[in-house]
Chains A and B, each alone.
Chain A
């Protein structure tokens, strides 16, 4: 292609008009909805004030999609759902239809092409995730792979609504936690300080910015082999990896020492309780591609325990608040360690400043 004489300047059009892409029934009844129900897992039924009804069929996707998959979904939408779709925050695709009779053929078409229908109500939702080895510049693992491996194990729970309440699982390939808060969060946890390539630091890194990035002030300027570089006070270092993005020669990822930790009880909704952050329950799991079986075993243990012990509508974090953390560790059989006790800023607020303890015959016997 030859370069044009004058460069094309962008049309700074911003956010596209949503109504041009909206299913006509949604457009017609915009802001005029009356109620909804869930006739079966994966299907929502909405009633408008006008009497119009819409059935929404939700299906899981792999998020990172090839154009052939996107076109296949378009074919299904053209044939069964009036040529419109939308996506959810968890990379599910939704098809809308105006008659109940159109639901079953659409579900059959999705099943025939291998798209699981579900992810509504009290199901295990599609795992929200990040880029990982596929495209990130700082990943400790591959998000898409962890998610694929886990969803293979959990797809029955995606397709059914038999958890006490919804379960949102997230994964993150570093401690920045782009995957977000989750009822269960599967996150990278580094366990050793960065390995520094002192030959490269001066040329690649803006050193004052890197020093400022460290949350515990463990990085300081240094000279090694006559070259200006940075050094890490390894006693202070919390191995968070915050220095790695602005300074790639401070390699934090390690095939052995980059581990996976599991956190539970995060919740975004304001329903019943205020939003909650997830809390650490397990660390030290190996980063074990391509299927991460150790992670799947812990996740399934936690899910099974929650399913058996929580009451209807209790989210993971609400269930644990009711039964108490000692009971959570007892029921899951997971060890409680000094690492569960928060030493970070504000950590004191998580200590038990009361005599409220669920006493039992075993308390004190292991001291």
Chain B
């Protein structure tokens, strides 16, 4: 059946598996023949045949995904003995997934020596997935990869490998230094990554602008999204060129009427005016007129918390925790790290087993969570205030007084 997946124009993973299985001079040819045998069986029976277990490296409690074949004959022996152990090593790539060919080739060389020769670039978690290693070879393989400067990523109830967009490296829409944020935050939580002891997984993702190319809002517990406070930068000459090239109707249909808060006007001289106070930083007009428009200069981040996939209460979006903070100075980055630390500490102490941050917050209430980690409520955190009166409000005067005090202090600055 797998042969049928070698036809067609898209690159075939099956052809790749077969190349490995037929590399008779390599140590993994037998393992990959076994792998193809098991996979073919799955295609025939529509069943999976892997089970987990416990495999790791010395000094760490996670980062290896153990896989043992369940296909056994009547004698209890594995049907495909050479593929009976087929573990994955999760390796953290550099932020932005940059590689020199030299480093990729070295990874291939190590992996040929100890593993199957099969690499997923990359897993949904953002890891390099070295797929197919025997229990015996996990340690020496990791040792050599580790000597190259790579470290294991996260698995299980742990801080996970993060992802960040190409950002500053090649995108004018990038609003903060994603590589610096990614590196500092993850390196601050390596203990929680390598020695899994949290209630469940905790993911950071870093997107340089609200286009959120890393899917951070829906796929991470803590989403760091670039944004700006001042006005969108406009090059009116480029606007006029765009209008001349594409026509006024195109600008009206594709820019003006697509602005979610109707902030953009096309003027009679084919320049545009933007009502920046009402701009929600959605990125649409900037995405369309890439030469004419770019994010403002007073840049920073919005932080959302609690995104996750379906297990167990259904998919959750991250929701706004910090509407805006600067992320430029050492102090700013330390503040981000401290916030992450506070949230993870609270999560570790208060979440139920196998409960994600979003589920924990839903269970205890967002206002209670804010209070617990010492953040003040902000109207940007909600789409609208509560619509039902069933809440005890005898602390109103205190809370309203705090708000007034904060705002008069800000006004005095």
Contacts and interface: CB of A to CB of B under 8 A. Distances in A.
Nearest to A179: B124
Contacts of A36: 171-172, 290
A354 B362 CA distance: 28
B325 interface: no
A212 B219 CA distance: 23
B194 interface: yes
Interface in A245-296: 248, 253, 255, 258, 268-273, 275, 277, 287, 289-291
A144 interface: yes
B11 A69 contact: yes
Contact of B43 (A11, A145, A271, A275): A145
Given A148-B5, A272-B284, A155 B10 contact: yes
A64 B16 contact: yes
B228 interface: no
A289 B10 contact: no
B92 A215 contact: no
B146 interface: yes
A84 B284 contact: no
Contact of B47 (A11, A23, A61, A255): A255
Interface in A170-187: 175-181
Q: Which of A18, A54, A179, A240 has the most CB of B within 10 A?
A: A18
B169 interface: yes
A262 B140 CA distance: 43
A17 B5 contact: no
Nearest to A71: B108
Contacts of A51: none
A84 B124 contact: no
Contacts of B50: 135-137
Nearest to B304: A275
Identify the interface centre among B119, B215, B287, B315: most chain A CB within 10 Å of its CB.
Answer: B215
A22 interface: yes
A198 interface: no
Nearest to A318: B258
B135 to A, nearest CB: 14
Contacts of B151: 10-16
Contact of A270 (B102, B212, B253, B312): B212
A15 B311 CA distance: 28
B214 interface: yes
A61 B121 contact: yes
A18 to B, nearest CB: 4
A272 B42 CA distance: 43
B218 A136 contact: no
Contacts of B12: 62, 148
B10 A70 contact: no
A137 B52 contact: yes
B260 A272 contact: yes
B1 A62 contact: no
B46 interface: yes
Contacts of B124: 128, 130, 178-180
B131 interface: yes
A135 to B, nearest CB: 6
A330 interface: no
A18 B212 contact: no
B172 A1 contact: no
Nearest to A114: B11
A5 interface: no
B1 A290 contact: yes
A67 B254 contact: no
A67 to B, nearest CB: 4
B346 to A, nearest CB: 21
Interface string B98-114: 11111111001001100
Nearest to A246: B354
A327 interface: no
Contact of A115 (B11, B95, B108): B11
B168 interface: yes
Given A15-B187, A96-B170, A66 B5 contact: no
B112 A313 contact: no
B104 to A, nearest CB: 5
Nearest to A346: B314
A325 interface: no
A268 B217 contact: yes
B284 to A, nearest CB: 5
Given A15-B182, A275-B218, A289 B98 contact: no
A17 B94 contact: yes
B256 to A, nearest CB: 12
B392 interface: no
B103 A21 contact: yes
A268 B215 contact: yes
Given A12-B194, A66-B19, A289-B43, A212 B353 contact: yes
12 contacts: A9-B58, A13-B150, A21-B99, A30-B168, A31-B168, A36-B172, A61-B121, A62-B11, A67-B118, A145-B5, A271-B211, A344-B314
**Top 5 A-B residue pairs of the complex, sorted by shortest distance between their CB atoms:** A152-B8, A66-B16, A133-B42, A270-B210, A33-B172
Given A14-B92, A37-B290, A268-B212, 4 more contacts: A21-B94, A63-B121, A128-B124, A131-B120
